Amino acid sequence: MHASTRIDGGELDRPGEGRVERRLPVTELTEVAAEEATYTTAAFSIAGPRDLERMASILEAAADYRVLRRLDTSAIPTTPHRSTPYGIFLDTETTGLDPLSDTVIELAMVPFDYSETGDILSVGEPFNRLRDPGLPIPPSVTALTGISDEMVSAAEIDSVEVTAFVEKASLVVAHNSEFDRPFCEKLWPIFADKAWACSFREIAWADEGFEGAKLCHLAAGHGLFFDGHRALDDCRAGVQILARQLPKSGRTGLSALLDSARRPRFRVRAVKAPYVLRGVLKTRGYRWDGGEHGQAKAWFADIDEPALESELSFLREDVYRRDDPPIHVQRVTARDRYSERCR
């Protein structure tokens, strides 16, 4: 347990299997651990994991404490079941945010076997490679990722190796596919032929009671934490989170994601929508495309097929107030979603 406690005026940090999200006064610590720990003015020693878990359970029973346990990446078997579909959880680190001017410096992938109903059955050996971008890595990126120019010097990612790793996968998952897919397609064409899903956008995390949709927030919502500083850390955490049951629906995260990925949607682009109604469109879930990728500037949203006609009526009657507005509609499946083809 990682309990930040103050003992005789000094701070004691003990890294281990969990974190307690409140400073614990020494008097309370003594009461909680009286039978489990040998307490001194400098440190305390704990007999073993069972004692830690008992302490954590006592803290959880009190309303003033919230205990986070370290995410156990070994919880899912590591022997692949190749008779089932398998997916890949992917993450990249890049030199910046624009796939037109920036590029990948790290690619990580974790393969996982899953059932058609969304149970993750096993995970395989990960893929993790660094890549020299051919230009200095911005200091802000190094500060965020820990990846320096020296680490990537002359490093390459073999396209043949990437293709072999990805080609039989049924699904590629990223926690921000809208970001990762264009970067990957630009360097490795195999990704353009794959179905993609986004674990950030395509699961209704808020409806399930989560306070945020970042991986660290989702882990905390499950009572977990992980060391998420590099791409592979995030991939491993992402697979574990998808394998867990959602708090309200009771289904796994992957089950919800598969349902979303299997549904075609329609990309509705409202070109030249009245500026004064931008707030209405934003509230309805539309996002702004400034035309950086060659398309006309427009507000856009992805609409499920049953709601398409109603959405088009809303735009005609409440936004444009005309029968022939400049609305563009494109059918989108998981093979195109988040790709440059849908920009």
pLDDT attached to residue 211: 94
The secondary structure element, H or E, covering residue 302 is strand 298-304
Distance CA 72, CA 78 (A): 13
**pLDDT higher than 60, residue 11:** no
Distance CA 263, CA 202 (A): 11
Mean pLDDT of the region 84-113: 95
**pLDDT higher than 80, residue 310:** yes
Distance CA 55, CA 52 (A): 5
pLDDT attached to residue 31: 52
Q: Which residue has the tokens 């156990």?
A: 72
Higher pLDDT, 275 or 74: 275
Q: Model's pTM, two decimal places?
A: 0.83
**pLDDT higher than 70, residue 74:** yes
CA nearest neighbour of 158 among 193, 124, 129, 189? 129
- What's the mean pLDDT when you consider all of the chain? 88
Instruction: Show Cβ contacts of residue 259 under 8 Å, excluding neighbours closer than 6 positions.
Output: 118
Mean pLDDT of the region 88-99: 97
pLDDT attached to residue 79: 73
CA distances 124 to 121, 127, 303, Å, are 10, 9, 35
Sign of the C-alpha dihedral computed for residues 206, 218, 265 and 185 taken in this order:
positive
pLDDT attached to residue 38: 46
pLDDT per residue over 131-178, tens digit each? 999 999 999 999 999 999 999 999 999 999 999 999 999 999 999 999
pLDDT attached to residue 73: 83
CATH architecture of 86-261: 2-Layer Sandwich (3.30)
Contact of 175 with 149, CB cutoff 8 Å: no
Mean pLDDT of the region 227-237: 90
The answer for 272, left when phi > 0, alpha when psi is -120 to 50, beta otherwise, is left
How far out from the chain centre does Cα 218 lie?
9
Distance CA 229, CA 175 (A): 14
The confidence band for 283, taking pLDDT boundaries of 50, 70 and 90, is very high
Q: What is the CA radius of gyration of the chain?
A: 24
